[in-house]
């Protein structure tokens, strides 16, 4: 899971996102239908901070990052998300905030989802 934090996000969004990540039904059941959640499968969670997800790409040839939360807020909310997922019983690993990481991704199937938790 690549995680972007926007200005205005808070602990409520982090908590709700953790709940949704564990309950979102995107894994195949016995009939190969997306009907199982991470919780149903007993899977683990890898959370990787990725501020570029909130980039504004609507104009020009260079992304804008005005919508991204400050690094201090983003770190705190990323930790909140991680802690909440663990409290909900999910084995959770993380990437390193602010690091240049090499990540290998195997994307099974034709689906990628963007989960957005609205601000209050």
Residue that has been written with the tokens 């969670």 in this structure: 45
Q: Treating both helix axes as pointing N-terminal to C-terminal, what angle do 11-23 and 71-87 enclose, rounded to 10 degrees? A: 40
**Of 27, 41, 50, 92, which one is the catalytic site residue?**
50
- State the pLDDT at residue 106: 83
Q: Which residues contact 43 (CB under 8 A, 6 or more apart)?
A: 27
C-alpha span between 54 and 7 (Å, rounded): 10
Q: Given a cut of 80, is residue 120 above it in pLDDT? A: no
Q: Establish whether 51 is a catalytic residue.
A: yes
How confident is the model over 39-78, as pLDDT tens digits? 999 999 999 999 999 999 999 999 999 999 999 999 999 9
52 assigned to active site: yes
The CATH class that applies to domain 2-56+65-94 reads alpha beta
Q: State the catalytic residue, choosing from 51, 78, 82, 92.
A: 51
The domain segmentation of the chain, as residue ranges, is: 2-56+65-94
- Identify the H or E element spanning 49: strand 45-49
pTM of the model: 0.90
């Amino acid at each position: 899971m690549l995680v972007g934090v926007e200005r205005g996000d808070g602990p409520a969004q982090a908590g709700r996102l953790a709940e949704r990540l564990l309950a979102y039904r995107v894994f195949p059941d016995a009939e190969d239908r997306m009907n199982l959640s991470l919780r149903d499968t007993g899977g683990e969670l890898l959370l990787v901070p990725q501020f570029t997800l909130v980039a504004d790409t609507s104009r020009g040839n260079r992304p804008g990052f005005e919508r991204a939360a400050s690094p201090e807020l983003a770190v705190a909310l990323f930790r909140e998300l991680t802690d909440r997922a663990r409290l909900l019983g999910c084995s959770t690993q993380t990437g390193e905030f602010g690091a240049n990481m090499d990540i290998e991704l195997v994307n099974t199937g034709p689906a990628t989802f963007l989960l957005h938790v609205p601000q209050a």
